[in-house]
Amino acid sequence: MVKNEEDIIENFIRWNMKFLDSLYIIDNNSTDGTVDIINQLISEGFNITLWVDNTLAHF
């Protein structure tokens, strides 16, 4: 689960995908570029499943 992680998300994904076949990420209503960065990495071919959860129950 991520929220407003644009400063670290790309490096985190690129590093961890060296060891993983796929990655599942739940974005909890990010207001920065987190989702855009994840979508860019998906378009580059990374096997990432992204769910966007806009409920306010998670902080």
pLDDT of residue 56: 67
pLDDT of residue 54: 83
Contact 23, 16 (CB under 8 A): yes
Q: 0.75 exceeded by the pTM?
A: yes
The CA distances from residue 35 to 14, 24, 42, in Å, are: 15, 13, 10
- The gap from C-alpha 38 to its chain's centroid, in whole angstroms, comes to 5
pLDDT of residue 55: 79
The encoded tokens of residue 42 equal 């998906």
**Tens place of pLDDT for every residue, the chain, 59 residues?**
999 999 999 999 999 999 999 999 999 999 999 999 999 999 999 999 999 988 766 55
